[in-house]
């Protein structure tokens, strides 16, 4: 009986070893997803949309202070007999947006380098509120859309946030759905290392 029990014990151990090796091989064969870019703090904005009357606020560095606000406003023009539904983004005391002389905001493609300093006629402004895109509703002709963001599809708005007198660069990924009359926010990121440029969508 002792011999039979030992043999069964050895067989049991052998099966356990085989199962362990098999499981280890299965685990090793699973390819882990590539990690996100280092030193970026991400914000998942899935489901965040800006519609008439709606507001979306973003705290990109997670310090409890809202850095940017998306909202809409209705502006009437009695002279030209039209209304404008404007989709805006506002920055605060320590948050900056790149704006040019025409009050348009920069629109980047994935992989474009977002610089620390002013660039290509765009200047970093704080405490600003600017129109990304607007729908013009006219009494005399069909409605239409205006703004350099009107055809945006997963494009990137460069941003900066100041903390402890240092600049942190980042981006907000945005699409414009003119059919559904809304901005769609996808994702945002902010560098955790000050005073360095980042790539849009990185």
Residue 127: strand, helix, or coil: coil
CA distances for 143 relative to 3, 14, 140, 149, 178, angstroms: 92, 76, 9, 17, 11
- The pLDDT score that the predictor gives to residue 177 is 98
Say whether pLDDT at 7 is over 50: no
For a pLDDT cut of 70, what percent of the chain falls above it? 81
pTM of structure? 0.80
The answer on 119 and 193 residing in a single domain is: yes
The answer on 48 and 71 residing in a single domain is: yes
Residues spanned by the domain of 177: 40-199
The answer on 102 and 17 residing in a single domain is: no
The answer on 175 and 144 residing in a single domain is: yes
Total domains in the chain come to 2
pLDDT band at 73 (very low <50, low <70, confident <90, very high): very high
The answer on 117 and 26 residing in a single domain is: no
The answer on 98 and 21 residing in a single domain is: no
Say whether pLDDT at 101 is over 80: yes
The answer on 86 and 10 residing in a single domain is: no
The answer on 114 and 84 residing in a single domain is: yes
The answer on 104 and 27 residing in a single domain is: no
Q: What is the largest CA-CA distance in the chain?
A: 106
Pairing outcome for strands 155-163 and 166-177? antiparallel
CA distances for 21 relative to 9, 11, 28, 76, 80, angstroms: 18, 15, 10, 72, 77
**How many whole angstroms separate alpha carbon 163 and alpha carbon 94?**
7
């Amino acid at each position: 009986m002792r011999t039979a029990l030992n043999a069964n014990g050895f067989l049991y151990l052998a099966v356990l070893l085989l199962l362990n090796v098999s499981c280890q091989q299965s685990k090793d064969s699973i390819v882990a997803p590539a990690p996100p870019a280092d030193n970026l703090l991400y914000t998942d904005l899935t489901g965040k949309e800006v519609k008439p009357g709606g507001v979306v606020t973003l705290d990109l560095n997670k310090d409890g202070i809202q850095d940017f606000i998306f909202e809409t406003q209705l502006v009437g023009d009695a002279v030209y007999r039209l209304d404008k539904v404007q989709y805006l983004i506002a920055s605060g005391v320590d948050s900056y947006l790149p704006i040019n002389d025409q009050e348009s905001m920069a629109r980047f493609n994935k992989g474009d380098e977002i610089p620390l300093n002013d660039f290509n006629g765009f200047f970093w402004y704080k405490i600003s509120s600017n129109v990304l895109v607007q729908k013009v509703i006219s009494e005399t002709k069909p409605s239409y859309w205006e703004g350099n963001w009107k055809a945006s599809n997963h494009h990137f708005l460069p941003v900066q946030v100041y903390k402890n007198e240092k600049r942190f660069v980042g981006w907000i990924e945005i699409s414009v759905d003119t059919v559904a009359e809304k901005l769609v926010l996808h994702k945002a990121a902010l560098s955790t290392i000050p005073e360095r440029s980042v790539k849009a969508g990185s």
